[in-house]
Amino acid sequence: MKAVTILGSTGTIGVNTLDVIARHPGHYEVFALTANRNVDGLFEQCATWRPRYAVLVDAAAAKTLRERVATAGLAIEVLSGADALVEVARHPDVHYVMAGIVGAAGLLPNLAAARSGKRVMLANKESLVMSGALFMDAVRESGAELLPIDSEHNAVFQCMPGGFERGLPTVGVRRILLTASGGPFRTRELTELDAVTPDQACAHPKWVMGRKISVDSATMMNKGLEIIEACWLFNTGQDAIEVVVHPQSVIHSMVEYVDGSVLAQLGNPDMRTPIAYALGWPARVDSGVAQLNLFDVRRLDFEEPDTRRFPSLRLAREAMSAGGTAPAILNAANEEAVAAFLDGRIRFPAIAAVVADTLDGLAPRAADDLAVILDDDRRAREVAQRLTRKLAS
């Protein structure tokens, strides 16, 4: 039986992971569940799954959970703080770690899991965006297994031949085609984007996701970050990665070979498919996802992304080209700008403007030291916060 730590268990990825695990009794043991400050959600999961550890980053929330766990007579150790996330990610009794924390907050526990040789099921693209070289070195040196959970990268992984780590040309791959739904504003008039609300931006037409990643999908920064992530996962430059807008979200991504063949992974838009793939790999296990009915789908459409509508795509490519800590700066600025938009402090188009101005205002440094990466993450947040305050005034 494989012991699983789920980082971000009360979020969409965590909930879906538990759903898949429930379908395979006797195969997986829930070792640790973690959240930020969601006491009610984590207590409910603890009562159902009886993990050895439960972690809440917020100390006051952890105190409340600890009291509720004791009152319920549950033999669960409740920990608090960011260090506790690292502890349950690298614990020697853990086999698999679901990296489901959104944003830069997931970097340290995910890196700890990689350094400890775990199977890291990576739903947190920011870990590779911020520290790609360091993270991949940790995977290689420890012998960890890195399995992508983002539907696009999981699809690419499924379509790739063995040995792709040596470089795509060595295995006959010409390019990667990352699909994108285009989000809720794919056909909205550009003049109307200034007035869109957070709720409209979070109303994804195909996927059920958290609010931050839903906004990233609406700006297509999510796809920009995925380009950077794909470069590290598949050992390639961004010139070999093309984004294809595919509104139906049935083809999750494709791999083109030098002989002209294109392999695609298709399925209903449900995160349980890549989660089940990562849990069972190299075997296939039941995910609970409904069968794909192509007669219901009827048609598959493809479009080139409009960089005027989605400037975040260009910004992400520019950051990857600049190298060093530029992607970490990009990610930090975006997180702050999205938070300001969700709080109603800036308008939707200002998200990309804040990111662009932050990139212009900070010179990237070499990303070969974790302390430097985290320092540039901090500096970028300070710059982005100043910019959002100025826009809000």
Residue 233 CB contacts under 8 Å (≥ 6 apart), including other chains = 128, 146, 148, 153, 156, 157
Taking the CA of residue 42 as centre, how many other CA atoms within 13 Å lie in the half-sphere pointing to its CB?
33
- The residues facing 251 across adjacent strands are 266
Rg, C-alpha atoms of the chain? 20
User: Residue 392: its pLDDT value, please?
Assistant: 86
Q: Which amino acid is at 320?
A: M
What residues are paired with 78 via a beta bridge? 54
Strand partners, 79: 55
DSSP class per residue in 296-340? HH-----B---TTT-HHHHHHHHHHHH-TTHHHHHHHHHHHHHHH
Residue 127 · residue 89 · CB < 8 Å: no
Residue 393: per-residue pLDDT? 73
Q: What is the DSSP letter of 113?
A: H
Cβ within 8 Å of residue 56, ≥6 positions away: 34, 35, 36, 37, 38, 39, 42, 62, 65, 78, 79, 80
From the number of C-beta atoms within 10 Å of its C-beta (0-12, 13-18, 19+), residue 24 rates as middle
- Give the pLDDT score at 207: 74
Task: Decide yes or no: CATH 2.60.120.10 for domain 311-387.
Answer: no
Among all chains, which residue has been given the structure tokens 């012991």? 3
- For residue 372, give both structure tokens: 């430097």
- Locate 96 and state its tokens: 């698999």
Other C-beta atoms within 10 Å of 59: how many? 10
Question: How far is C-alpha 276 from the chain's CA centre?
Answer: 16
pTM: 0.95
CA atoms within 13 A on the CB side of 6: 28
pLDDT at 99: 98
Query: What pLDDT is stored for residue 332 in this prediction?
Result: 98
DSSP per-residue string spanning 6-22: EETTTSHHHHHHHHHHH
The CATH classification of domain 2-148, taken from the options 1.10.3720.10, 3.40.50.970, 3.40.50.1100, 3.40.50.720: 3.40.50.720
Token couple for 309: 């509508």
Domain ranges of the chain: 2-148, 156-266, 311-387
Residue holding tokens 């399925």?
267
Residue 376 tokens, joined: 């540039």
pLDDT at position 118: 98
Residue 215: its H or E element: helix 211-219
pLDDT of residue 146: 98
Q: pLDDT at position 255, please?
A: 98
Rounded to 10°, the helix 326-342/221-233 angle is 150
pLDDT of residue 104: 92
As a whole number of angstroms, the distance between CA 362 and CA 376 comes to 9
Cβ pair 7, 34 in contact under 8 A:
yes
What pLDDT score does 209 carry? 79
Rounded CA-CA distance 232/227 in Å is 9
DSSP-derived letter for residue 172 is T
Residue ranges in the chain whose pLDDT is less than 70: none
